[in-house]
Structure 1
Amino acid sequence: MVIPLSGFSAGVLGSRVLRVLPRGVDVRWLWCALPTAVLWSVASAASPPRWLPVPLALAWLGVLLVAADLRCRRLPDALTLSAHPVLGVALWLAGADLERAVIGCLVFSGLHAAVHLLAPAALGGGDVKLSGALGAVLGSVSWLALPVGAALASAITLVVALWRPPGGLPHGPGAVGATWLTSVWGPW
């Protein structure tokens, strides 16, 4: 019961964080509290205890990022840039292979940057900034997690595209969702 209540409280705090950010995002607290509580509960049931800091941190940041992306079609710099040290510390606490994390960060951010440079309208700058932190998590899970995470992100983005009205496709939900799923149920 502690994990769901902690996740719920973290989500309430997260909705307040979103409002006070530069170019803040007004998201109802329940839209952050409930998903965070559910994701924390699932992660605590499915992840080994030593790895738990990673999916918990990713879930909290991810809910905030997804809420902002779906609401405003942008990923706030304050969250995308802080994701790197937050997830880096979580990976360190989890005893992850930090060399693989750095390589995953470089590979994933390099691929996203290349797509953004070749087709700027296809992928936003926030997606590129966030991709390094997500690549670090995926690289820490396994080398196979990088292509699996990318494919799963594409599938989730396709579902979001079918659900959202036209006017810009948010890639944050797919990238964050795929990374969280892979971090919880990925190969160990």
Structure 2
Amino acid sequence: MINELHPALAIVLTAAFAGAGATAGMLASAALARARAPAPVPLPPVAIGTAVLWLFVAWRWFSGGWPGWWLPVPLALTALAVPLCAADFRYRRLPDALTLPAYPIFAAAITTAAVAGPGPQLAVRALVAASFFGGLHLLVHALSRRSLGAGDVKLAGALGGVLGAASWGALGVAAVLAAVVTAALALTRRWGRGVPHGPGLLAAACLVALFPGRGVGA
């Protein structure tokens, strides 16, 4: 698809994605800093990281990695991924300032994709998957609060919608990938207040959203 674009238009679109991504990162960072329980994160790295992710989303779209109707979903997800990871690494918590707004943000993105793409079944599957994925993490949290925090549970519910929109199989893939990332983090150093699981969940969800396979939405 990118080869079909005029070079000047491709440059403009690329710059637009980078600028919009940086803006999204800054807005999310501002929300964390102004929250009732503030969790300020370094603004430049978060803005740059989000811009890079949005550029990657743009590249996947330009190269025909998935149907155009899927675009709102990875954009919404990557808008929150870097600031949430930064907050979890720094404070070992996933603030409500971003985990709660993730629900309407992802819902809007998935609904837009459903309307432009395969139809209502996409949104219905996302809703069921969100309930299942969030409920599973809630059960783990209830059994072992030291293993999984309340913020992880809230985030899991929102991410479950994105995973379900991709496919049913994405739920299992993401759960395994998230566990692997968390285990790898546990080996890197001693974490005084527990190993952050949010980065693993977000990394897995981003990979699934960026590489959902040709049967996305099926």
TM-score by length of 2: 0.82
Within the candidate set 26, 37, 46, 1:32 is matched to 46
Tell me the residue number matched to 1:138: 163
Tell me the residue number matched to 2:130: 105
Does residue 62 (structure 1) correspond to residue 81 (structure 2)? The answer is: yes
- Alpha-carbon offset, residue 13 of structure 1: 2.5
Does residue 43 (structure 1) correspond to residue 57 (structure 2)? The answer is: yes
Percent identity between matched residues is: 46
Tell me the residue number matched to 1:89: 108
Q: Deviations over 1:38-57 (max 9, x none)?
A: 11011121143211111111
Is contact 1:57–1:90 with CA below 8 Å preserved after alignment? yes
TM-score by length of 1: 0.95
SS in 2 for 1:94: helix
Whichever residue aligns with residue 211 of structure 2, its letter is: W
Tell me the residue number matched to 1:151: 176
CA RMSD of aligned residues (A): 1.3
Does residue 119 (structure 1) correspond to residue 141 (structure 2)? The answer is: no
- Alpha-carbon offset, residue 14 of structure 1: 2.3
- How many residues of Structure 1 are paired with residues of Structure 2 in the alignment? 188
For structure 2, which runs of at least 5 residues remain unmatched after alignment?
A: 1-14, 62-66
Separation in 2, partners of 1:49, 1:21: 34
Within the candidate set 193, 199, 202, 1:173 is matched to 199
Tell me the residue number matched to 1:10: 24
Q: Find runs of 4+ consecutive structure 1 residues off by over 3 angstroms.
A: none
For structure 1, which runs of at least 5 residues remain unmatched after alignment?
A: none
Q: Which has the larger radius of gyration?
A: 2
Separation in 2, partners of 1:53, 1:164: 36
Separation in 2, partners of 1:80, 1:4: 23
Tell me the residue number matched to 1:77: 96
C-alpha distance 18-104 of structure 1, shift in aligned 2 (>3 A): same
Q: Deviations over 1:68-116 (max 9, x none)?
A: 1111000111211111111000101112601110111111011101111
C-alpha distance 25-164 of structure 1, shift in aligned 2 (>3 A): farther
Separation in 2, partners of 1:163, 1:56: 30
